[in-house]
Amino acid sequence: MRDRAFLPFVLFLVLIAVPVTLALTQSHEPRADFVFDVNSEPETIDPAFLTGQPDLRVALAIFEGLLTRDPKTLAPRPGIADRWAVSDDGLTTTFHLRPARWSNGDPVRASDFAFAWERVLTPANAAPNAEMLYPIAGASAFHKGESQDFAQVGVAAPDDSTLRVTLARPTPYFLDLCAGSAFLPVNPRAVHAHGDDWIRPEHLVVNGPFAIVDWKLRRRIRLRRNPDYWDAAHVHLATADAIFTEQASTAFNLYATGSTDWLDSSGIPPMIRDIVVKRPDCHRSPYLNTYFYRVNVTRPGLSDSRVRQALALAIDKQAIVEHITRSGQIPADHFVPPGLPGYTSPPGPAHDPERARALLAAAGYNGGSGFPPIELFFNTSDEHRPIAEVVQQQWKDVLGIRCELRNQEWKVFLASTRALDYDISRASWIGDYLDPSSFLDIFRAGHANNRTGWADPEYDRILDQAAAERDPDARAALYARAEALLTSEGPIIPIYFYVTLNCYDGSRFAGCEPNLLNLLQLKYVRRAESEVAAAR
């Protein structure tokens, strides 16, 4: 054996590893004014293609649409458009744009919106949210390839500061849509120069309150106030970091030690939610998000609406929110969450074991006898299993129905649900805009998100009628009729309505209150008065 055996090895490793690692990890950036946890790495922040909540939070910080939303009430507010007028027939909205600039110096023109919307609707681009633009006249035909001419779509920019949008039919929530991500403008020069890569930090051109300084994979996105933004004087934070922790326990550790200033429910480990929710820095609000079970109506037994009713009536949802989710969720007897302006859901089937048994007996399965064993199906998660176990037990106790639990990894689960390869499957639905149609439309016959095999011409007819109705009260009544039909005959068992839990120190920050869509609009985030006073 040679003398040089081991020392060089150890020395080499230690001498190389330590300095290299230190060099790699050194960073001399000061902490950002506000560090917020968006839970997972945004997949893209391109307005045409983004889908997730993390994507949206960053996109809304760097782009501004015609309208924005009030940070608390979400009511439409002026954005790039400083005023707008709706025609008497409700079909034409004329937006008047204020003088505003892109970060490359270009003015924000009305035609930039038309350009962005054409990009979303161009079929080859496969933009996931293209359907959001369908209320615009001709948009659906253009997107489906039935017409090749974008001039047929109801968007016109007679001059740089006027955008005229014509709708296919009156759409009461159109202004709300205009504040959404699919309607954000993009800078044509940047897109022409760099194609889809225009969104990378080195090419990115923005028109919103913030600009991206850099984006480090799996670490953070550093934002700084955009000096070219028209309302820069009212942007309070000079810098902000979006971080992506993925794991709730890690997220909460970072928050607890002061590395993070703001996080939402996904950053609170389920195990401690009931404790955190009582803390003064935990801010709760209703969330436009429903936890429910889909029922596959093509399965024997489950095809009978009385059976589906019985299954819903047998579940004690109050017990689930009290003993399992434990952070103020609201038991759901209907599908559309409470809180939408101008809409109240009709009461749905509440907990009623007697009636559940009677309905099951009427369907021919007295005491569960003869009922085929069913499977309750969910994606692998600490949150879904305990709920499924309670439901399983209650169905057994109340109805005498045997139910097996089955979990699958997320993508496998999605594929099975989609192929209707399940009996009953866990689901949730988040509203895209503040209107009941955002929930009820998905159970139209053959809708891509229906995934239950349920189709009821009467249901579709009521929804069509509601969509065409101009009187707000009559419209709401029609949607309520549709929802009543959905919860009594339909293929779903609502379990509870989510709540948003935002953790932040209210004595230090304001403007980041929770809201119905769980949006965080960085523009409005500011140091709380007390801290400003203390700094003086």
Closest approach of Cβ 408 to another protein, in Å?
9
Contacts of 284 (CB under 8 A, 6+ apart): 277, 327, 328, 499, 500, 501, 502, 514
Contacts of 110 (CB under 8 A, 6+ apart): 95, 97, 157, 158, 159, 160, 161, 162, 163
The single residue among 152, 428, 507, 530 that binds another protein, judged by CB under 8 A, is 428
The single residue among 151, 217, 533, 535 that binds another protein, judged by CB under 8 A, is 217
Closest approach of Cβ 409 to another protein, in Å?
7
- The residue type found at 280 is P
Burial of residue 535, with CB atoms counted within 10 A of its CB: 0-12 exposed, 13-18 middle, 19 or more buried: exposed
**For another protein, the closer CB: 421 or 529:** 421
Phi, psi of 273 (to 5 degrees): -60, -40
Tell me which stretch binds another protein (CB under 8 A): 65-73, 85-93, 423-431, 487-495.
Answer: 423-431
Centroid of chain to Cα 106: 31
**For another protein, the closer CB: 31 or 77:** 31
Considering only residues 335-394, where is the footprint of another protein by CB under 8 A?
none
Q: For another protein, what does the binding mask look like between residues 30 and 49, x meaning CB under 8 A?
A: -----------x-xx-x--x
Count residues near another protein (CB under 8 A). 68
Q: Convert 336-351 to b/e letters by CB count within 10 Å (16 or more is b).
A: bbebbeebebbebbeb
Considering only residues 49-68, where is the footprint of another protein by CB under 8 A?
49, 51
Residue 420: count of CB within 10 angstroms of its CB:
16
* DSSP H or E run through 491: none
The single residue among 58, 81, 127, 205 that binds another protein, judged by CB under 8 A, is 127
Read off the tokens for 313: 């009536």
- Strand extents, DSSP E, 384-484: 403-408, 424-430
Closest approach of Cβ 535 to another protein, in Å?
24
The single residue among 30, 88, 105, 124 that binds another protein, judged by CB under 8 A, is 124
**For another protein, the closer CB: 41 or 316:** 41
**For another protein, the closer CB: 480 or 492:** 492
Q: For another protein, what does the binding mask look like between residues 272 and 311, x meaning CB under 8 A?
A: ----------------------------------------
Tell me which stretch binds another protein (CB under 8 A): 254-262, 367-375, 491-499, 504-512.
Answer: 254-262
Closest approach of Cβ 44 to another protein, in Å?
4
Closest approach of Cβ 367 to another protein, in Å?
36
**For another protein, the closer CB: 40 or 344:** 40
Burial of residue 244, with CB atoms counted within 10 A of its CB: 0-12 exposed, 13-18 middle, 19 or more buried: middle
Could you tell me if 97 and 83 are in contact, meaning their C-beta atoms sit under 8 angstroms apart? no
Secondary structure string (H, E, C) spanning 12-51: HHHHHHHHHHHHHHCCCCCCCCEEEECCCCCCCCCCCCCC
**For another protein, the closer CB: 216 or 470:** 216
Considering only residues 383-422, where is the footprint of another protein by CB under 8 A?
409-416, 418
Burial of residue 422, with CB atoms counted within 10 A of its CB: 0-12 exposed, 13-18 middle, 19 or more buried: buried
Please, what is the Cα angle at 164 between 163 and 168, to 5 degrees? 140
The single residue among 92, 94, 104, 125 that binds another protein, judged by CB under 8 A, is 125
Distance CA 207, CA 315 (A): 49
* DSSP H or E run through 413: helix 410-418
**For another protein, the closer CB: 15 or 319:** 15
Coil, strand or helix: which one is 5? coil
169 touches another protein (CB under 8 A): no
Read off the tokens for 468: 């065409």
Residue 409: count of CB within 10 angstroms of its CB:
9
The single residue among 159, 197, 202, 529 that binds another protein, judged by CB under 8 A, is 197
Distance CA 455, CA 47 (A): 33
Q: For another protein, what does the binding mask look like between residues 441 and 470, x meaning CB under 8 A?
A: -------xx-x-------------------
- The angle that helices 305-313 and 472-489 make with each other, rounded to 10 degrees, is 90
250 touches another protein (CB under 8 A): yes
**For another protein, the closer CB: 301 or 436:** 436
Contacts of 411 (CB under 8 A, 6+ apart): none
Tell me which stretch binds another protein (CB under 8 A): 82-90, 185-193, 210-218, 353-361.
Answer: 210-218
Within the chain, what is the greatest distance between any pair of CA atoms? 95
Tell me which stretch binds another protein (CB under 8 A): 111-119, 128-136, 322-330, 370-378.
Answer: 128-136
259 touches another protein (CB under 8 A): yes
**For another protein, the closer CB: 68 or 260:** 260
Distance CA 182, CA 113 (A): 10
Considering only residues 3-32, where is the footprint of another protein by CB under 8 A?
3, 5-6, 9-10, 13-14, 16-18, 20-22, 24-27, 29
Interaction site with another protein (CB under 8 A)? 1-3, 5-6, 9-10, 13-14, 16-18, 20-22, 24-27, 29, 41, 43-44, 46, 49, 51, 123-128, 130-131, 144, 196-197, 199-200, 216-219, 245-247, 249-250, 253-254, 256-257, 259, 409-416, 418, 427-429, 448-449, 451
